[in-house]
Copies of this chain bind each other. A is one copy, B any other.
């Protein structure tokens, strides 16, 4: 049972395909009578326009492609939520692809999206991506592309992100203002920019407040098991340092690991040690004690990135000259029981 086409309707009514097409799109040069008849017949046959044909004809697919490292992630699933909702509002569909933190996959997915002629692409780079030929190739083809969260600083395109350094700076400054003096940092892997920036924010906050930076207070959580990293390094930290009074972590899950260790070893939070996380996972307001955290506007980021992208798509269509934007979304601090 093949889908109904304009031809079927035309045939049924003994008129031309053109007239049917025009009638359905409400053109003014079709008589009311035929318009009505066409619409009625379309409904009767349960006609659904074939987007593929429209796409080919109009040279746009009303589809945007998204590449993220992984969808099973509090932050990214929220971003995707924002993307899908904004796209829907503007009549676009969303194809989601994962790079799984592999540059190789990222390249493949990018090619796939190109083949499918998506109207634009949203991408958050993999941790492996330090070279941008594949991205630049897209841009050179004049395909709208917006980077979010994990961006490439050297790439010339629109970007939307948070100021990780500043956010970390604020969190650590808050700790210092609260009177904490010996503040450890459980940082992420060495290469990702987010991880670096949060570390730099931590460091700067110390320095600006006259606290000497102590490298031995920085623990690197560089495998993918954040929770166990937190637990493991908490143990190590308490063995190595007697008087640490606060920890700032690169992400909340690391903080949960620390929390676990503290609970098990009767270390009181925040009395013995304060904990400040990053990303404000849902769980942070649920665990005992509730964990303070940096609020990243994930949903908002998805929405804004999509808005920006669709704007660029439209600019391209209307041949408006491109101007790339860099949007830095504000973060804020969720202060809870742990600090």
Contacts and interface: CB of A to CB of B under 8 A. Distances in A.
B56 A52 contact: yes
Nearest to A228: B286
Given A77-B72, A227-B286, A286-B227, A116 B84 contact: no
Contact of A81 (B78, B98, B137): B98
Contacts of A93: 95, 97, 112, 116
A283 interface: yes
A166 interface: no
A74 to B, nearest CB: 8
A207 interface: no
Interface in A61-107: 61, 63, 70-73, 77-78, 80-81, 84-85, 88, 93-98
Contact of A287 (B51, B111, B287): B287
A84 B97 contact: yes
A48 interface: yes
Interface in A206-245: 227
A169 B116 CA distance: 47
Interface of A: 1, 3, 46, 48-53, 55-56, 61, 63, 70-73, 77-78, 80-81, 84-85, 88, 93-98, 111-112, 114-117, 137, 140-142, 227, 256-257, 259-260, 263-264, 283, 286-288
Q: 9 closest pairs, A vs B, by CB?
A: A77-B77, A51-B116, A52-B55, A51-B115, A263-B288, A72-B81, A52-B56, A48-B114, A72-B77
